[in-house]
Structure 1
């Protein structure tokens, strides 16, 4: 049995920009850093996902400071880095092949934003047959206006995204449960 792979999604400097608006889970980056440290101590696989925008004016465009990883979650040379141009980390990235070649079948997903890249990646992971866990206190998102024009708080958007994933694509867990998964191997 192999360790589950920790996948950290889009924890880039641009996510710190206050212009993104209200967000939930202010402790999520700390939970991510704690999980990353535990994975490193266990010599378990880690994948860092970075969004690279196709729009030249984006803070996530190549050469912009927003595209860089946040210092506390900077990849080590031995850790795999995936670059993506769409929310789903499996699309056109080689991630599935990288995992399959290593015999990895279990994923623990953290990052931002819960209702976008985290949800898209977790849906694909579940559809591809990976045992998938999304760490609720290791993800965050931003307030968003819904289809009917109602402003939803970041907490509401986060909760709905997790509800979309629970049991159908992934198991939604807390960081302590993720640490317990790591210790089961």
Structure 2
């Protein structure tokens, strides 16, 4: 197994800016992102930093604004590769896949924002491209939504998205669990759609009795 850590869109607009992350608490996820970067560097896992840059007229992360800049937690740390993007997936028109293939990397670990948008897109895209994908749930985060389809809190969105990703697309774990896996070489747990559904059905039967 050869890993790379993909640090997605840790930018000022998500930390007290136009789109503040609410769950998990952003201070917690920021600390874990920094810890993941330090831990990766310590064992020579390459770190890829991704930055979302939108047009100057965009309401958030607009080119040239403070909100679009990388947060100091990421900006102050070493990285092995940088790429800018304008679509949700870190693979979309960035050359990321080619960079990973050239280095024989077969596993990507994702941290950053947002759980349900750019993280999710990169997770699914990465899995479809044949990479083994990992997501550090406490080094990511969500915010609430309300639109014509309904509403959901940041906690609901984060929780549901991580459950869905664990069911098919990624191994979801905490930063501490990931660091332990790096030290021991133990493979993270991966579930599937059938087992996830079966467990939910068993839980449902238990709750009825």
Q: How does 1:1-185 map to 2 (within 5 A)?
A: 1-2=1-2, 4-20=3-19, 23-26=22-25, 27-74=28-75, 76=77, 78-145=79-146, 148-149=149-150, 151-184=151-184
- CA distance in 2 between counterparts of 1:99 and 1:15 reads 27
Measured at CA, do residues 46 and 78 of structure 1 come closer, stay the same or move farther in structure 2, by a change above 3 Å?
A: closer
CA contact (8 A) 1:21 1:143 kept: no
- CA distance in 2 between counterparts of 1:133 and 1:75 reads 24
Measured at CA, do residues 22 and 153 of structure 1 come closer, stay the same or move farther in structure 2, by a change above 3 Å?
A: farther
TM-score between the two structures when normalised by the length of structure 2:
0.81
- CA distance in 1 between counterparts of 2:17 and 2:55 reads 22
SS at match of 1:43: coil
Consecutive aligned runs of 4 or more in structure 1 exceeding 6 Å deviation = none
SS at match of 2:138: strand
Q: Which has the higher helix share?
A: 2
CA contact (8 A) 2:142 2:154 kept: yes
SS at match of 1:37: helix
Q: In structure 1, list runs of 5 or more residues that go unmatched.
A: none
Q: Deviations over 1:156-182 (max 9, x none)?
A: 000111122113111111111211232
Instruction: Report which of the two structures shows the higher radius of gyration computed on alpha carbons.
Output: 2
The offset of 1:21, in angstroms, is: 5.2
Size of the aligned set, in residue pairs, is 183
CA contact (8 A) 2:17 2:67 kept: no
- RMSD of the alignment, in Å? 1.9
- CA distance in 2 between counterparts of 1:64 and 1:22 reads 18
CA contact (8 A) 1:52 1:84 kept: yes
SS at match of 2:169: coil
50-59 or 158-167, which deviates more: 50-59
Q: Deviations over 1:46-72 (max 9, x none)?
A: 011100113524441221111111111
In the other structure, the counterpart of 2:200 is none
Measured at CA, do residues 8 and 21 of structure 1 come closer, stay the same or move farther in structure 2, by a change above 3 Å?
A: closer
Q: In structure 2, list runs of 5 or more residues that go unmatched.
A: 186-209
The offset of 1:183, in angstroms, is: 2.2
